[in-house]
Amino acid sequence: MPIPISLLSQQSVGPTLGAISLEKSLKAGMIGFLIVILFMIIFYRAPGLLASLALGIYVVLLLAIFKLIPVTLTLAGIGGFILSIGMAVDANVLIFSRMREELREGKSFGIAIEEGFNRAWPAIRDSNLTTLIVAFLLFTLGTSFVKGFAMTLSFGILLSMFSAIFVTKNFLKVFIETKLERIKWLWI
């Protein structure tokens, strides 16, 4: 059944306007990242500081992967990158909330870390897996901009799981059986 197509509007974006949009997007992403780090430190104290360090490592590793592949960061790609940072923060929030619950129940610091990660893992796994499935579909069925978004989001999510589960957990384990572990207000 043939359907006629008529052009309703058309826009051209010059290189200067595209560069301005890219610059503004990067600036907004950096400001948002700093606000998230500040929130994590204020709300979660020591774990928030450790998560911020892990997120810094995450961003550096992800940008290194983008450089190795190489990935051209378009506005859509930056959107996928920023969304994957949000997923990494979400994983840390889930872990720290579970860890706080365990500490409030009077469990030791080491057990609270293990239980916090174990209890948060199903939610982290499910949210990241469903997002990866959607990203795969977007990459398979989408156009070039959508594919860029899906690719940066996929790389970011895979690396965010590594960052939250491996890096943050090992940062927390450093404090087991130390004097700082006994300062409850840092962790609860």
Q: Which two tokens stand for residue 73?
A: 């960061």
pLDDT, tens only, 9-27: 666 656 665 678 778 877 8
pTM given for the model: 0.81
Return the closest-CA partner of residue 34 out of 55, 6, 61, 12: 55
Q: Model confidence over 84-111: pLDDT tens digits? A: 888 888 899 899 999 999 999 999 999 9
Whole-angstrom distance, CA of residue 111 vs CA of residue 28: 39
Cα separation, 111 vs 118, in Å, equals: 10
For residues 84 and 78, what is the distance between their CA atoms, to the nearest angstrom? 10
